[in-house]
Amino acid sequence: MARFDVYKNADSLILDCQADLLETLNTRFIVPLFDTKTFPIVAERLNPIVSINDNEYVIYTQFAATLARYDMGEYIINISDHSDAIISALDMLMSGY
């Protein structure tokens, strides 16, 4: 598992945001991804859009949670090329700016 890996979990996508240094923990810090056609963007910085396999998804940072490693689901793709936007969204959630 690596930071910014995307997994298919049941019928949704989740983004692993946990630092690789903490890989041995049995939980992962995740953020759900929702289809842009279904879920609105609440705040541009808080909810960046990423493209995965020709589909656009909103990172719903405000729904961040932890999940057991064994519940992560099937690996889809790593989106670390969006790391600046993801980290900015997490900063917005944690610090307000």
| pLDDT score of 11 | 83
CB distance 93 to 64 below 8 Å: yes
| pLDDT score of 41 | 75
* Cα–Cα distance for residue pair 29/81, rounded to 1 Å: 19
Q: Give pLDDT tens digits for 6-65.
A: 999 988 999 999 988 888 889 999 999 999 888 877 788 999 999 998 999 999 999 999
List the structure tokens of 64: 């961040």
pTM of the model: 0.91
Q: Give pLDDT tens digits for 72-97.
A: 999 999 999 999 999 999 999 998 87
Residues spanned by the domain of 41: 5-95
| pLDDT score of 26 | 93
b/e code 56-93 from CB counts within 10 Å (16+ = b): ebbbbbeebeebeeeebeeebeebeebeebbebbbebb
List the structure tokens of 92: 């917005």
| pLDDT score of 42 | 76
CATH number at residue 73: 2.30.30.110
CB distance 29 to 15 below 8 Å: no
* Cα–Cα distance for residue pair 40/53, rounded to 1 Å: 20
Q: What domain count does the chain have?
A: 1
| pLDDT score of 37 | 86
